[in-house]
Structure 1
Amino acid sequence: MHILFLTDNFPPEVNAPASRTFEHCREWVQAGHRVTVIANVPNFPRGKVFPGYRNRPWQRETMDGIQVVRVWTYIAANAGFALRTLDYLSFMVTGFIAGLWLPRPDVIVGTSPQFFTNCAAWMLSVFKWRPFVFELRDLWPESIKTVGAMKDSAALRLLERLELFLYRRATAVVAVTESFRRNLIARGIDGDKVHVVTNGVDLSRFRPMARDPQLAQRLGLTDQFVAGYIGTHGMAHALETVLEAAALMRARPQGVRVRFVLLGDGAQKQALKARAQRMGLDNVLFLDTVPKADVPRYWSLLDVAIIHLRKADNFTQVIPSKLFECMGVGIPVLHGVAGESAGIVEREGVGLVFEPENAQALCDGLLRLAQDQALYRQLRSHCLAAAPRYDRRGLAAKMLGVLTTVAGRG
C-alpha cells in the first residue's frame, strides 16, 4: 500500500505533531508499506529555516525509509494569527501542487490542528480519485477562539463550515481523543467513520534514565528537586501559572526548595522570560529547544513534570502528548488539565491533578510529591507499568488498520 501523508510539521522539528507523524510513518514503512510525506521546510516554532535546509519549491530526502518531499511556504514565527494563516494557506497550495506530481497513492491522509492541510489532502483525493482520511489532532478553529486569537465573527463561522465540510468528505476521521469523537458525532458526523487513535510514546527513546550528571552540573541542578515543563510555550499553555507557583515557592521561608525548568519555544516565551525577570525568579531556568535526540537527556533532569493548559472547556477534550512521554521515562506528573486527560492520570495513577491556572494548587502538589517519598515511588511505578499500554508501535498499527480498510474501498 502507498500512503501519501500531508503535514506541516515533521522532523527535525520536535513538536507533538511532528513526532506522531514520523513515528507512525516509520512503523508503516517497517510493516512493508510505501510512505510519502509532503511537508514544509522545518522552521517551527521560531519561523527560521533549520540549518541544512532552504525554503525552495521542491526538495526530497529519505528519513528511516520515509520519502519526504519538502515544499516552499510563506514562513512566519508562531506568533500572530494573520501571518500564521498565510503560512498555512501557502502550504495548502504548494502541498497540493506537489501531490499532483507524485505517483498515485492508495490513500491520502491530512493532519490537523489547522485544517488547510486537509483542504489540500481532500483536493488531491479528488484529482487522484483516492480516499481521504482526516487525522484530527485539535478542534480547529474552535481552539483559536479559545485562546483569544480570533473573535466570533462571520469569518470564524465560515471556517467552521469548512471544517464540517472536510469531516463529511473524509472517508474516515482518525481522532486523538474520545472527546473529539463525541464532539463530531454531536455535530452530525457519522460515528461509524470516526476512529480514535490516541497519542502515545516511543518506548525505544523514552525510557527510565538516571539524571545526567554532566548536564545537571552545567545547568546548576545537581542535588535539587526539579519540576519541569517541556514543550511549546504558547497562548494555550498559560505558563504564567508556573511562574506564579515559582514565586510562591520562593517566598516560603524554609522547607523544600524547588527549581523550575521550562524547556521549549513558542509565541509566549519572550514574554514569560521578561515576566520572570520582573518577578525576580531566580528559581526558574529557561532553556531553548534541543534536538530531538537530546530530549530524553533533559527529561532525566526532572523529578516531576508539569503539564498545563489554560482553563477552558475546549481543552477538557485534549490529551497532551507529553503525558505519555512522562510515563515512558517514569516521571510523575502534576497535571493542570481538566477533562479526558485528567481521567487518564487518575485511572493510571501516574500523578496528581490540580485545577488549571491555580498556582497554589500547583505548589501544594509539588510539596506533596517532594515530601512524600512513598507516594512518589508509587506514582513512578505506575508510570512505568502504564507506558506499554500507549506504545506508539501498537497505536501506529491501529491507525494502519484504518488506512488499510479505507484503501480497500478504493
Structure 2
Amino acid sequence: MHILFLTDNFPPEVNAPASRTFEHCREWAAAGHKVTVITCAPNFPKGKVFSGYRNRLWQKEEMCGISVVRVWSYITANEGFARRVIDYLSYMISALLASLFIRRADIVIGTSPQFFTACAAYGVGWLKKIPFVFELRDIWPESIRAVGAMNQSAALGGLEKLELFLYRKAALVVSVTHSFREDLTGRGIDREKIRVVTNGLDATRFKPQGKDQTLVERHGLAGKFVSGYIGTHGLAHGLETVLDAAEAISCRPSGEKYRFLFLGDGAHKAQLIALATTKQLKNVIFVDTVSKDEVVKYWSLLDASIIHLKKNELFRSVIPSKLFECMGMGIPVLHGVEGESAGIVEKENVGLVFQPENAEELCRKLVELSEDGALRRRLSINGQLAASRYDRRALASKMLGYLEDLVAGRPPKYDL
C-alpha cells in the first residue's frame, strides 16, 4: 500500500503534530508500506527556516524509510492570525500541486490542527480517485474562538461550514480523542466512520533517566525542586497562571527551593517573559526550543511536569500529548486541564489535578507533591506502568489496520 500523508509540520520540527506523524509513518514504512509525506520547509514556531533547509518549490529527502517531499509555502512566525492563514493557504496549494507528481498512491491523509491541509487532501483524493482520511487533532476553527483570536463572524461561520463539509466527504475520520468523536457525532457526522487513535509516546525515547547534570549546573538547579512546562507557549495554554503560582510560592518560607522551567516557543512567549520581568521572578527560567534529543534531557530535570490549558469548554475534549511523555519518563503531573485528559490522569493515578487558571490551587498541589516523597514515587511508578498502554508503535499499528481495511474496501473495525 502507498500512503500519501499531507502535513505542514514534520521533523526536524519537534511539536506534537510533527512527532505523531513521523512516528506513525516510520512504523508504517517499517511494516513494508510505501509512505510519502508532503510537507514544507521546517520553520515552526519562529517562522525561520531551519539550518540545512531552504524554502524551495520542491525538495526531497529520505527519513527512516519515509519519502519526504518539501514544498514552498509562505513562512511566518506562529503569531498573527491573517499571516498564518496565508501560510496555511500557500501550503494547501503547493501540497495539492505536488501531489500530482506522486504516482500510484492508494490513500491520502490530511492532518489538522488547521484544516486547510485536510482541504488539500480532499482535493488529492478527488483528483486521484482514492480514499481521503481526515486525521482530527483539534476542533478547528472552534479553537480560534476559544482563545479569542477571532470573534463570531461570517468568515468564521464559513470556515465551520467548510469544516463540516470535509468531515462528511472523508472516507474515514481518525480522531485523537473520544470527546472529538462525540462532538462530531453531535453535529451530524456519521459515527460509523469515526475511529479514535489517541496520542501516545515513543517509548524508546521517553523513559526514566537521571537528571542531566550538565543542564543542572548550567541552569543552577542543584538542590532545587524543579517543575516545568515543556511545549508551545500559545494563547490557549494560559501560562500566566504558572507565573502567578511561581510568584506566590516565592513568598513562602521554603520558596527558595522551587524553580519553574519553561521550554519552547510560541505566539505568547514574549508576553510571558515580559510578565515574569515585571513580577521580578527569580525562580523562573525560559529556554528556547531545542532538538528532540535535547528535549528528553530537559524532561529529565523535572520533578513535576505542569500541563495547563485555559478554562474553556472546548479544551475538555483535548488530551495534551505531553501527558504520555511524562508517563514514559516517570514524571508526576500537575494537570490543569479539565475533561477527558484529567480523567486519564485520575484513572491511571499519575498526577494531581488542579482547576485551570487557579494559581493558588496549583501552588498548593505543587507544595504537596514536593513535600511527599512517597506520593512522587507512587505517581512515577504508575506513569511508567501506564505508558505501555499508549506506546506509539501499537497506536500506529491500530491506525494502519483502519487504513488497510479502507483500501481493501472493508469497513474499518469499530473501537468502543
TM over 0.5: yes
Structure 1 distance, partners of 2:102, 2:374, is 57
Q: For structure 1, which runs of at least 5 residues remain unmatched after alignment?
A: none
Aligned length in residues = 410
Cα distance in 2 for residues equivalent to 1:98 and 1:226 = 46
Which residue does 1:42 correspond to in 2? 42
Matched, 1:172 2:205: no
Residue 380 of structure 1 is matched in structure 2 by 380
Q: Determine helix, strand or coil for the equivalent of 2:145.
A: helix
Q: Residues 296-335 of structure 1: matches in 2 within 5 Å?
A: 296-335=296-335
Q: Aligned partners of 1:76 and 1:402: how far apart in 2?
A: 35
**CA offsets, 1:88-111, max 9 Å, x none?**
000000000000111121110000
Shift of 1:373: 1.1
Residue in structure 2 matched with residue 95 of structure 1 by the alignment: 95
Within 5 Å, give how 1:7-406 maps onto structure 2: 7-254=7-254, 257-406=257-406
Contact 1:249–1:257 (Cα < 8 Å) also in 2: no
C-alpha separation in 2, matches of 1:24 and 1:209? 25
Give the Cα–Cα distance (whole angstroms) in 1 for the partners of residues 96 and 219 of structure 2. 45
Contact 1:256 1:367 in 2 (8 A): no
- Contact 1:234-1:266 at 8 Å conserved across structures: yes
Tell me how far apart the structure 2 counterparts of residues 378 and 403 of structure 1 sit (CA, whole Å): 39
* Inter-partner Cα distance in structure 2 for 1:91 and 1:214: 40
CA distance in structure 2 between the partners assigned to 1:156 and 1:198 by the alignment? 28
- Partner SS, residue 134 of structure 2: strand
Tell me how far apart the structure 2 counterparts of residues 104 and 148 of structure 1 sit (CA, whole Å).
Answer: 43
CA–CA distance in structure 2, aligned partners of residues 348 and 146 of structure 1: 28
Partner secondary structure for residue 101 of structure 1: coil
Tell me, in whole angstroms, the C-alpha distance in 2 between the residues paired with 1:45 and 1:152.
26
Preserved CA contact (<8 Å) 1:119 1:166: yes
Q: Residues 250 and 256 of structure 2 are in contact (CA less than 8 Å); yes or no, is this contact kept in structure 1?
A: no
* Superposed CA RMSD: 0.8
CA drift of 1:255 comes to 5.8
Deviations 1:349-385 (A, max 9, x none): 0000000000001001100000011111111110011
The one-character-per-residue Cα deviations of 1:214-262 (angstroms, maximum 9, x if unpaired) are 1111111111100010000000001000100000011113367210000
Partners of 2:103 and 2:38 in 1: how far apart?
A: 13
Instruction: Using the aligned pairs only, state the percent identity.
Output: 63
Deviation string 1:20-72 (CA, Å, 9 cap, x unpaired) is 00000000000010000000110000000000000010000010010000000
TM (norm. structure 2) is 0.98
Q: Secondary structure at the match of 1:208?
A: coil
Distance 1:339 1:283 in 2: 30
Provide the rounded CA distance (Å) in 2 between the counterparts of 1:409 and 1:293.
40
Partner amino acid, structure 2, of 1:295 = V
State the shift of 1:406 in Å.
1.1
Q: Once superposed, which parts of structure 1, at least 4 consecutive aligned residues long, lie more than 2 Å away?
A: 253-257
Per-residue CA shift, 1:279-330, capped at 9, x if unaligned? 0000000001001121111100000000000110000000000000000000
Contact 2:249/2:255, CA 8 A, preserved across alignment: no
AA matched with 1:311: K
Greater Cα offset, 210-219 or 280-289? 210-219
